Amino acid sequence: MSALEEGGPLTWGVLILLAIMSLGSWYIIITKYLDQRKVLADAKDLEKKFWGAPSLAEGAKKLDKNSAFRQIVDDGLRASDHHEGRLTDKIDQHEWVTMALNRSSANVQSKLQEGLAFLASVGSTSPFVGLFGTVVGIYGALIAIAASGQASMDKVAGPVGEALIMTAIGLAVAVPAVLGYNWLIRRNKDVSERIGNFAADVHGALMSGSRTPQAMPPMAAKPVVTPGKPATA
């Protein structure tokens, strides 16, 4: 491309920067998807592997060591077993375990959020980076045309058109980053909900020996029957 040659090192630098941003975006999209997929797959096995065990400690051993749910259980058991010391004397065990499970859940969710800020930054800045490359390319092309003394339309349209490719590359980098960011954020909400529900169940099991009861739907009111009158709903 003559635009790259005429733009010089600055144009090449912009192109390399866009390539790095694109590779980084796809790397984050793929790795975050795999992380979310693993958490969701582990969540499906909880009922059979974990809650079917005779105790929380036994259930934790059945979970993968790198599982997010294993981390939450281990932190909850550790907080329940080690509630002593001067600093924790004024905090009852219920609140102490709650704090530990909240911290553990927050750590898991924080790991899932890693890299998403990069996607947002790429989606918002790469079009402007590409536009900057276009401006530099057009400037270099116009300088070369002025030096040659030939300012006809065919001499101008070619270099300027090639310089506009940098803007297209910037948009091509931004679109997957924005779509990937929104997609991962939506999936993270589902993962966070499962993590929060599991932490609540573990808390209930630690405090009362059973899982947190699910909310029951309200029962419909029975019709009132009075002597001599028809039933009213």
**For residues 61 and 212, which has the higher predicted lDDT (pLDDT)?**
61
CA distance 70 to 63: 6
Q: Bigger pLDDT: 29 or 134?
A: 29
Helix, coil or strand: residue 224:
strand
210 against 195, higher pLDDT: 195
Q: Which of the four pLDDT bands, split at 50, 70 and 90, describes residue 31?
A: very high
What pLDDT, on the 0 to 100 scale, is given for residue 57? 81
Q: Domain map of the chain by residue range?
A: 2-208
Given a cut of 50, whether residue 220 has pLDDT beyond it is no
Percent of the chain predicted with pLDDT > 90: 24
Asked if 13 and 148 touch (Cβ cutoff 8 Å), the reply is no
Poorest-pLDDT segment among 23-32, 115-124, 216-225: 216-225
- What is the rounded average pLDDT of the residues 35-44? 87
**Mean pLDDT confidence for 200-224:** 60
Q: What is the pLDDT of residue 43?
A: 84
pLDDT band at 221 (very low <50, low <70, confident <90, very high): very low
Q: Which DSSP string do the residues of 65-84 spell out, in sequence order?
A: TT-HHHHHHHHHHHHHH---
Q: What is the mean pLDDT of the chain?
A: 79
Q: Which residues pair with 232 in a beta bridge?
A: 224
Q: What is the per-residue pLDDT for 61?
A: 82
Provide the pLDDT for residue 82.
65
pLDDT at residue 145, rounded to an integer: 72
Angle between helices 153-163 and 165-208 (to 10 degrees): 10
Mean pLDDT of 202-219: 60
Amino acid at 74: D
Q: What percent of the chain has pLDDT over 70?
A: 76
Q: Is 129 left (phi over 0), alpha (psi -120 to 50) or beta?
A: alpha
Q: pLDDT tens, 71-113? A: 888 888 887 776 555 555 556 677 778 888 888 888 888 888 8
pLDDT in tens, 155-181: 666 667 777 888 899 999 999 999 999
Q: Give residue for tokens 């001599």.
A: 228
CA-to-CA dists, residue 228 to 33, 34, 221, 225, angstroms = 67, 68, 21, 9
